[in-house]
Structure 1
Amino acid sequence: MPEAAGWQAELEELKVVSARIGGDPLLTQGAGGNTSLKTGGTLWIKASGTWLAHALARDIMVPVEMAPLIAAVEAIDPAAEQAHQFTITTLNSSGLRPSIETTVHALLPQRVVLHVHCVDTIAHAVRADCAERIGPRLAGLNWAYVPYARPGLPLALAISEHRGQQPDVLILGNHGLVVAADTVAGAEALLEDVKVRLRAEPRGAPAPDVGRLAQLAAVTDYRLPSSEAAHTAATDPISLKLAGKSSLYPDHVIFLGTGSVTARDGEDVAAVVARLGTSPISILFPGTGILMRRDATPGADAMARCLADVLARIPGNAPVRVLTPEEHLQLTDWDAEKYRQDLARKAAAKKIA
């Protein structure tokens, strides 16, 4: 392992960058995204369920022994799905589990890896013609496109097909962006470069009818979202139509549920709940705005805004690929995501208390 003072300084540098990335909702939302640093045979990676935005205020980096984890991936051993089994407990002061994406970070040879849910990237990554469209924009970079695979071992195996190329940039279909470099500064510079290259201008959208939303929320278990930007998913007709196609990326499914619930003409909250037989986490009221269930976690609020930001960057005629029913089931019936959701609920309950 490199001299302690050296890698510890790098880890502190990574925390600064992580907090900066985590503070930008166009790059990272809630507990999404993760960063890592390799020091000898140890991988320091963001803990599952924690927020990059909190990297300077909380102990969110977990040490993992890389060699046995990589061996498990190469053997397609189910143990690779349980990255916490490879945690170096003597160094893991937080006691948290490593990120769901630990296998992805371990497989990449570069020392620093930044994985973000950049809304500009996602707006391209949900298109069936993604690879062809972004090729010219990424000219000159060592990049690869990875079709959608469930986060965790399936995604790691999909990425491993490109190991000979050793790409510095990965565009993950229906998911997000990964950049990798041998220094923290190099990785951050590459992230900024790719973000600029893939920038998609958002459509303008009518303002929400906050007064009407307040009326709809009165005497219900619903409230306004934490971000006003979330309303454009309902006030922009093109975004609303795209939202109706179903889920576009994993964190939507995890934090908002399958697809988007849209109120029909004349429906209020009670009518929507009665029609569905359940209370959805969010409800889109066409031309009016969005309401969130009162117990929705901060992560759900962050994903409501993310949805609006992504949809606003997708043309109405784009050939969009949504997640399939099987892909939805893989996410909702996955122990690693259940763990992350449980952390989110506990954090929200603690904040309320």
Structure 2
Amino acid sequence: MKPLDWRTELQALRDFSALIGADSLLTQAAGGNTSLKDGDTLWIKASGTWLAHARERDIMVPVRMAPLLDAVANAQPEAEQAQLFTLSDQSPSGLRPSIETTVHALMPQRVVAHVHCVDTIALAVREDAMPILQDRLRGLNWAYVPYRRPGLPLALGIAEHRQRRPDVIVLGNHGLVVAAETVADTAALLSRVKRLLTQDARLAPAGDAEALSKLAGDNYWLPASDVAHAVAMDAASAAMAVGGSLYPDHVIFLGVGSVAAGVGETADDVAVRLGTAPVEILFPGKGVLMRRDATPAADAMARCLADVIARVPEGAPLRYLTNEENLELTNWDAEKYRQKLDAMVPSATRGIF
């Protein structure tokens, strides 16, 4: 590419980001991130922003790569604070770079896209994922990284494969990374991998809004998407959901694991039983309810849960996040920052009883 062509590529990256951000099967709410390298400068999506807003909002932040990579190589605490390496004179928004900045910086390719692809996650949460991935991704230069906390631990896991320069990385209990030298090639590769990893989804009846209205009380209402009900309308899906947390963004925006109401319980009954009001409650055979103060990201993750679990075959061996891994996420400053930004996003219009 010509030296100044990066500006054209950056606009192409914004268009690509908005496109994948609008696809709930690829990204949800503030999840996922994209980047472009221009010499020593890494342009990366800001933490807590939505890829879907890439065209109308300035969500890309410039970061100095050389000192960031030095911090990673020396295992310095600063490596977990990418905002320390932001080129502030070129970033008037004051937003922090993505919590995955180290991942993008360590990838040698010029363009990197990290997505929370539903079809990929449905495989990446399975203990028997490897043989399936080996079959479906045959012919591609790909790698698998078992679950590590997003940020520096994940980046170091990816760095172990750096010599092979994989173009596709499946992240255990997390998602997908694809990379290439141009935005167009990255988009084409993402489309190909998504197609190769497509899973059939179990069908489930629609949620029962009338029954849910009688259970909601004053503190709960319907989710933004009717698709979210599917996780409670299928017995196999509900059983998987209450088993624990399957991926990081669920923990951040919905809490640890999932909660199901018992027979005859209302939303208020569940809150009393638990001593706290869960963000989402599953009512088997009826659907789900969301706490009225649930953020847009929580709504997006409620749908994501239903989409992912519907693509996991009944009886498949699942690998849930451990208690320690859940605590790592809930006590991490970088994720608290994302939660703070998410609380500022206007809520979507929903059904009110």
TM-score by length of 2: 0.97
Counterpart of 2:293 in structure 1 is 295
Q: CA deviation at 1:130?
A: 1.1
Offset from partner CA, 1:95-151 (integer Å, 9 cap, x none): 100000000000000000000000000000001111221101001100000000000
Show the counterpart of 2:140: 141
2:173 is equivalent to residue 180 of structure 1: no
**Retained in 2: the 8 A contact 1:43–1:106?**
yes
SS in 2 for 1:233: helix
Whether the 8 Å contact between 1:2 and 1:39 is mirrored in structure 2 is no
CA distance in 2, matches of 1:54, 1:213: 33
Instruction: Map 1:1-353 onto structure 2 (within 5 A).
Output: 3-4=3-4, 6-217=5-216, 219-348=217-346
Contact 1:220 1:269 in 2 (8 A): no
TM-superposed deviation, 1:346: 2.2
Identity of aligned residues (%): 64
Kindly provide the CA deviation profile for residues 288-338 of structure 1, in whole angstroms up to 9, marking residues without a partner as x: 000000010000000000000000000111110000000000000000000
Distance in 2, matches of 1:51 and 1:144, equals 27
Task: Determine the C-alpha separation between the residues in 2 that align with 1:292 and 1:258.
Answer: 15
CA-to-aligned-CA distance 1:72-106 (integer Å, 9 cap, x gap): 11111111000000000010121100000000000
SS of 1:347 mapped into structure 2: coil
Runs of 4 or more off by more than 4 Å in structure 1?
A: none
- Quick one: distance in 1 between partners of 2:302 and 2:193? 24
CA contact (8 A) 1:107 1:160 kept: yes
Aligned length: 350
1:169-210 CA-to-partner distances (Å, cap 9, x unmatched) read 000000000000000000000000000000001000011111
What amino acid sits opposite 1:92 in the alignment?
S
SS at match of 1:240: helix
> For each residue in 1:196-232, what CA deviation from the matched residue of structure 2 results, as whole angstroms up to 9, or x when unmatched?
0000010000111111112222x42111000000000
Q: Provide the C-alpha distance between the structure 1 equivalents of 2:60 and 2:196, rounded to a whole number of angstroms.
A: 30
The answer on whether the counterparts of 1:2 and 1:40 sit within 8 Å (CA) in structure 2 is no
Map Cα deviations across residues 35-61 of structure 1 (whole Å, 9 max, x no partner).
000001100000000000000010000
State the 1:349 CA deviation: 7.7
Rate the CA distance shift 1:254–1:318 in 2: closer, same or farther, 3 A: same
Distance 1:127 1:16 in 2: 33
Taking a change above 3 Å as real, the CA distance of residues 349 and 198 of structure 1, as seen in their structure-2 partners, is: closer
Q: Secondary structure at the match of 1:283?
A: strand
AA of the residue aligned to 1:68:
P
C-alpha distance in 1 between matches for 2:43 and 2:279: 34
| Preserved CA contact (<8 Å) 1:15 1:56 | yes
Amino acid at match of 1:120: D
Look up the equivalent residue of 1:153 and give its one-letter code: L
- Residue by residue, what CA displacement relative to the aligned partner does 1:235-282 show, whole Å, maximum 9, x if unpaired? 011100100110000000000000001000110011100000001001
Would the aligned equivalents of 2:296 and 2:347 in 1 still touch at CA under 8 Å? no
- Counterpart Cα distance in 2 of 1:342 and 1:322: 26
- Distance, in Å, in 1 between the alignment partners of 2:72 and 2:128 is 29
Q: Which runs of 5+ in 2 are unaligned?
A: none
Unaligned runs of 5+ in 1: none
- Relative distance call for 1:350 and 1:282 in structure 2 (3 A) is closer
**1:2 to partner: Cα distance:** 6.0
* Code of the aligned partner of 1:176: G
Q: Cα distance 1:261–1:83, how it changes in 2: closer, same or farther (>3 A)? A: same
